[in-house]
């Protein structure tokens, strides 16, 4: 056993191996349904065990899926087990720094990493990792929609497929990934699309990157960087990420909530707007007022898919384009934490769209 502590924990790294010649994978264990079993019934896919849920360790999962030791050595880093609803941005910051030091370093012999996670906030954690890791080595998020031991539980196969994806040379230079239900999805676009079904992680317009057959990854495309994807250097971040809140627009939306959030310590806001990110008149007035005070406010679209398109003539409100509200919150946190000003934040969110769309061919948008 070698001791390799994760920032914020005293948990050592434990290598589980049958063959020391196999590729090494670090397994970050954060909890989630994949690491809980229900005491109610094998039919329980509603309460996920509730207060009667029993924790399962990564070692238990390895014991249940011994095939993973035929393809990899697994180094376990156990974080304090929590349901995904209680994780914070600091968790992905800690994991990112640990990965950069121990997996992404020049002399590391570790092939990649996997993070087990609850599905409710999995896409937020892996998105934060995607924006803060500058490495060709993959990190793969995996979870399950059914508890361990349930009839047709999806956790064991998802676990094997995540390990297989992490060690595959074809997974390199693709950024962070999400694996589940035979799909490989870009962390940059992944969304939880179904509240109950195992086939939940999707990227509807952008599509999945690939599928898994007999446990092996098959990619549809060569590695490519998503348009507009930014990178944030955590070496420029001191302390915790700044507070950013998300507010949801609806009929009779109370714009005073925006002021209240800022008074409560928010340095930025993400507003889920009507349609393509539209706000009420009162909401636009509040945006202009808060922006004049140095508060950065971005608006995301409320429908599941489609773009909150940057408008031809910029105003105080910054648009997220195809980025979901929860992803936009993380990106705005990182923008603020690395000291970007309003114009630089707008460039991060809107710049690629503006350069592609507002060209000579669309000069009709220009004012005289």
Positions annotated as catalytic residues are: 33
Q: What is the distance between the alpha carbons of residues 306 and 300, in angstroms, rounded to a whole number? A: 10
174 within 8 A of 138, measured Cβ to Cβ: yes
Q: What is the distance between the alpha carbons of residues 350 and 308, in angstroms, rounded to a whole number? A: 10
Q: Return the HEC string of the chain.
A: CCCCCCCCCCCCCEEECCCCCCCEEEEEECCCHHHEECCCCCCCCCCCCHHHCEECCHHHHHHHCHHHHHCCEEEEEECCCCCHHHCCHHHHHHHHHHHHHHCCCCCCCEEEEEEECCCCCHHHHHHHHHHHCCCCCCEEEECCCCCECCCCCCHHHHHHHHHHHHHCHHHCCCCCEEEECCEEEECCCCEECCCCCCCCEECCCCCCCEEEECCEEEECCCCCCCCCCCCCCHHHCCCCCCCEEEEECCCCCCCHHHHHHHHCCCCEEEEEEECCCECCHHHHHHHHHHHHCCCEEEEEECCCCCCECCCCCCCCCEECECCCHHHHHHHHHHHHHCCCCHHHHHHHHHHHHHHHHCCHHHHHHCCC
Task: At 115, list the tokens.
Answer: 């993070």
């Amino acid at each position: 056993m070698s001791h390799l502590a994760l920032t914020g924990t005293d948990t050592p790294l434990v290598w589980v191996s049958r063959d020391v010649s196999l590729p090494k994978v670090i397994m970050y264990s954060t909890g989630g349904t994949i690491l809980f079993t229900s005491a109610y019934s094998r039919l329980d896919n509603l309460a996920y065990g509730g207060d009667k849920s029993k924790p399962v360790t990564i070692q238990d999962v390895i014991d249940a899926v011994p095939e993973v030791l035929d393809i990899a050595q697994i180094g376990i880093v156990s974080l304090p087990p929590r349901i995904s609803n209680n994780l914070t941005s600091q968790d992905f910051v800690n994991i990112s720094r640990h990965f950069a030091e121990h997996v992404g370093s020049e002399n590391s012999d570790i092939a990649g990493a996997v993070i087990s996670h609850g599905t409710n906030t999995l896409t937020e954690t892996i998105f934060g990792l995607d924006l803060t890791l500058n490495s060709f080595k993959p990190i793969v998020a995996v979870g399950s929609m059914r508890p361990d031991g349930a009839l047709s539980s999806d956790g064991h196969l998802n676990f094997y497929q995540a390990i297989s994806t992490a060690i595959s040379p074809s997974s390199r230079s693709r950024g962070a990934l999400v694996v589940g239900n035979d799909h490989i999805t870009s962390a940059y676009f992944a969304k939880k699309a179904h509240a109950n079904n195992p086939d939940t992680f999707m990227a509807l317009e952008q599509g999945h990157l690939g599928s898994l057959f007999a446990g092996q990854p098959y990619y549809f495309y060569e590695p490519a960087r998503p348009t507009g994807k930014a990178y944030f250097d955590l070496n420029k971040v001191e302390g915790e990420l700044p507070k950013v809140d998300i507010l949801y627009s609806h009929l009779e939306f109370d714009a005073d909530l925006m002021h209240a959030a800022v008074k409560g310590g928010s340095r930025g806001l993400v507003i889920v707007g009507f349609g393509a990110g539209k706000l009420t008149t009162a909401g636009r007035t509040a945006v202009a007022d808060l922006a004049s005070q140095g508060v950065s406010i971005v608006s995301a679209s409320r429908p599941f898919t489609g773009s909150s398109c940057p408008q031809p003539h910029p105003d105080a409100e910054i648009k997220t384009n195809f980025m979901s509200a929860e992803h936009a919150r993380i990106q705005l946190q990182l923008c603020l934490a690395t000291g970007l000003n309003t114009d630089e934040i707008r460039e991060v969110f809107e710049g690629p769209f503006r350069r592609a769309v507002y060209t000579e061919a669309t000069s009709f948008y220009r004012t005289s």
